[in-house]
């Protein structure tokens, strides 16, 4: 059962039963996470910085490759709506996508 830890949200841990769900859907079972385009890969507001567990993530989608080329996504960032898990991962909510009603440590 993969676990997602959000390092800068009090190390919140989310356990997921269904690996077919996107990382965004897993996050939304337990917290709020920005996703302005409705998980269509048309914005970057759902991005997360990956601290650990890169090898437990699906290949980058075409949308992610495009945003990488445009420098709107960094090498250590993924679009949570385009990413699927095969194991544990630790992520970080970037400053620019943090929600004002949640309390982040960084
Ligand atoms: S919600 Fe827009 S790219 Fe993921």
In 11-106, beta strands by DSSP E: 12-15, 47-52, 77-79, 89-92
For the stretch 14-45, pLDDT in tens is 999 877 899 999 999 999 999 999 999 999 99
Backbone angles phi, psi at 10, to 5 degrees: 55, 30
Centroid of ligand 1 to alpha carbon of 101 (angstroms): 20
Domains by residue range for the chain, with CATH: 3-96 (3.10.20.30)
- CA separation for the pair 67, 45 (Å, rounded): 12
- Model's pTM, two decimal places? 0.95
- CA–centroid distance, residue 54 to ligand 1 (Å): 19
Q: 38 CA to middle of ligand 1, Å?
A: 6
Question: 1 falls in which pLDDT band (50, 70, 90)?
Answer: confident
Is there an atom of ligand 1 within 6 Å of 35 CB? yes
pLDDT tens per residue, range 51-105: 999 999 999 999 999 999 999 999 999 999 999 999 999 999 999 999 999 999 9
Atom of ligand 1 nearest to the CA of 24: 4
């Amino acid at each position: 059962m993969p676990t997602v830890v959000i390092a800068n949200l009090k190390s919140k841990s989310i356990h997921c039963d269904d690996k077919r769900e996107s990382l965004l859907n897993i996050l939304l079972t337990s917290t709020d996470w920005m996703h302005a385009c409705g998980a269509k890969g048309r914005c970057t507001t759902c991005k997360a910085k990956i601290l650990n567990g890169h090898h437990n993530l699906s290949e980058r989608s075409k949308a992610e490759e495009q945003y990488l080329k445009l420098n709107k996504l960094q090498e250590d960032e993924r679009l949570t709506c385009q990413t699927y898990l095969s194991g544990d991962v630790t992520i970080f909510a970037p400053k620019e996508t943090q929600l004002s009603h949640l309390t982040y440590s960084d």
